[in-house]
Amino acid sequence: MASAAVGLALLFVVMWAGQIVLGLAVFLLSVIALGEFYKALENVGYKPIKIIGFAASLPVVFLSFEDFSINLGDLINIENMVFFIFLITVILFSLIVFWHNKYNIIDICVTFLGIIYTTFMFSFLLLIRNMDNGFFHVWLVFIAAFATDTFAYFSGRFFGKRKLLPAISPKKTLEGAIGGTLGCVLVTILYGVYLKSSHSINEVSLLNFAVIGLFCSIISQLGDWAASSIKRFAKIKDYGNLIPGHGGVLDRFDSILFTAPLVYFYFKFMIF
């Protein structure tokens, strides 16, 4: 309980401190989460190429600057993102060509997946923050994920009877999942009411907030299950012990990793 309160306080400080502080925080979380992911897979015999993965996390820092020598809009676009993925792919395949006695195709697949799963997914927090009204939009990521977790926990505890995915997450129930989704939709609507009443955001309808809550809750639970399935495969209980009572960064932010891209793409393409 105490660690959750400290974590929430830190989140408020980071969010209010501005984009650069948020960028540094996201970079730090990305590096720690990537290290946890690689360590988990090392536990079952894989050899991720860590130096490539950590180097790939560096561009995240620059996403926090709206202007860094040139406009970020000229740097952060689909063409450059595709080029970056191409470059990482070439580097990784070069390693199994020239150092085939040390690395194999599985090692580079694990390395690449770690980059996508942690660094790439975390970077959407900064892309959201850089949008118009981004300060208010980025809160949706955390509100939706945390509301889903909270309502799912209490719904499952009081009403849970039907096991949902016992092989992956034995404590999860169908009733908990439904309660988490309904609670998330309610909380995101209330957040929309607050934003409208305070005139912070007027152009986004409450229906949009309800739809965002629905989509975010479903995908945040998928993120939770995905992280649990990796832990099962890697034969570990937690990704780490950085956060007392919560495990590692991936244990606490597994839902955020999936929710952040969804919020970004919704506001980018689906507002009606």
* From 17-21, 143-147, 191-195, the region with the lowest mean pLDDT: 17-21
Any idea where the domains of the chain sit in the sequence? Answer: 33-130, 132-272
* Structure-block tokens of residue 42: 């090392």
Per this entry, what is the length of the chain?
A: 272
Q: What is the DSSP string of 78-109?
A: HHHHHHHHHHHHHHHHHHHHHSTTT--HHHHH
What are the tens digits of pLDDT across the range 28-46?
999 999 999 999 999 999 9
Task: Let me know: does 46 contact 5? Beta carbons within 8 Å.
Answer: no
- pLDDT tens track for 107-145: 999 999 999 999 989 989 988 888 888 889 999 999 999
Residue 216 confidence class, pLDDT cut points 50, 70, 90? very high
pLDDT of residue 1: 54
203: pLDDT strictly greater than 70: yes
pLDDT tier at 254 (50, 70, 90 boundaries)?
A: very high
- Tell me: the pLDDT tens digits for 43-67? 999 999 999 999 988 877 666 555 4
Q: Please give the single-letter amino acid code of residue 40.
A: A
Closest by CA to 19, choosing from 56, 62, 48, is 62
